[in-house]
Amino acid sequence: MSKAFLFAGQGAQTPGMACELASPRVKELFDIAESVKPGITELIRSGTLEELSKTENTQPCMFVADLAYAYAEEEQNGAPQAACGFSVGEIPALVYAGALTVTDGLRVIIKRAELMRDAGNKRGGTMLAAVGLTPEQAEEAAASCANAWAANYNAPKQTVIAVSQESEQKLAGIIASLGGRAIKLKVSGAFHCPVLNEASEEFGEFLNGITFSKPQIPVFANLTAQPYGENARETLAKQMCSPVRFTDTVANMLAFGIEEFKEVGPGKVLTGLVNKIRA
């Protein structure tokens, strides 16, 4: 049976995640992470949910946890034939597939987190999941507000909208008027939207100094819903300010021949979305 690993994204973080894993490969991962970002092990083990939910902490901690769970899953049940990461999870997916080294992946995730934190501090904003609405209805709701954009196409009846703080309450009301529920995400800014255009450009410049290799298994990109190709730097840089096309990605992975999806990371959010997409 063809299997894919799904690398969890921001919002799935939990205190102590992956600390129950103790294989030599996982220990080496934590050692490398500690050498690149001293204190990260203690932050993962003992940090509060509030501390772990700060963007500059969430992203590198999720990177380590996702990879640790992937290594443990491979050791127990074998390697996958493809991979996909949701937003921040795309970087550990690329590392797992051999496109980046662990050290470079950490450097990339730390820079990404800093840029997104700074953009959030400068521009503010948040993200609301429009549950129960079609993508078209969610796009209609976003278009009815100033500074609101459909950002994450999670499932046929769940689209996340990035929105400014000034428009948040109006957007929630419009979602409700269309028959949906607005659920606020545990994030510190409006991500995957034009608010991050400048940060995306700076991230792209940073990525010019990073060595990318050809992935050893297909890694399906949030930006295109297709496997990464030759322009990995541009794809990864644009991902930051572009919608996550998870519904299309899962559909394309099914067409590719993937039969089983295994979420690697804390929680089962992505597995739940896959079940809704396949329904």
Q: Percentage of the chain with pLDDT > 70?
A: 100
How many of the other CB atoms lie within 10 Å of CB of 107? Answer: 18
Which member of 87, 188, 200, 242 is catalytic? 87
Provide the token pair at 141. Answer: 């709701």
Q: Model-level pTM greater than 0.85?
A: yes
Show the DSSP H helices in 37-85 as ranges.
40-46, 49-52, 55-77
pLDDT in tens, 235-272: 999 999 999 999 999 999 999 999 999 999 998 999 99
Q: What is the pLDDT of residue 120?
A: 84
Residue type, 166: E
**Tens digit of pLDDT for each residue in 7-26?**
999 888 999 999 999 899 99
CA distances to 15, 35, 140, 142, 202 from 12, rounded to whole Å, are: 10, 24, 28, 25, 26
Cβ 136 vs Cβ 178: under 8 Å: no
Mean pLDDT of all residues in 161-168: 95
- pLDDT category of residue 180 using cuts at 50, 70 and 90: very high
In the structure, what pLDDT confidence band is assigned to residue 145 with cuts at 50, 70 and 90? very high
User: Same topology for domains 3-122+193-278 and 125-184, yes or no?
Assistant: no
Catalytic site includes residue 53: no
Q: Which pLDDT value is given to residue 267?
A: 86
Q: In a 3-state reduction of DSSP, which class is residue 61?
A: helix
Whose structure tokens read 């400014």? 164
Q: How far apart are CA 227 and CA 85, in angstroms?
A: 12
Of 233, 223, 168, which is closest to residue 192 (Cα–Cα)? 223
Residue 27 has pLDDT above 90, yes or no: yes
Handedness of CA 190, 193, 195, 199 (dihedral sign): positive
pLDDT of residue 188: 78
3-122+193-278 has CATH 3.30.1490.20 classification: no
Q: Which of 188, 192, 200, 242 is catalytic?
A: 192
The residues spanned by each domain of the chain are: 3-122+193-278, 125-184
Q: Is 192 a catalytic residue?
A: yes
Looking at the predicted structure, is the pLDDT value of residue 156 above 90?
Answer: yes
The architecture CATH gives domain 125-184: 2-Layer Sandwich (3.30)
Task: Give me the chain's average pLDDT, please.
Answer: 95
Length of the chain: 279
Q: How far apart are CA 171 and CA 212, in angstroms?
A: 40
Digit-coded pLDDT (tens) for 87-143:
999 999 999 999 999 999 999 999 999 999 999 888 889 999 999 999 999 999 999
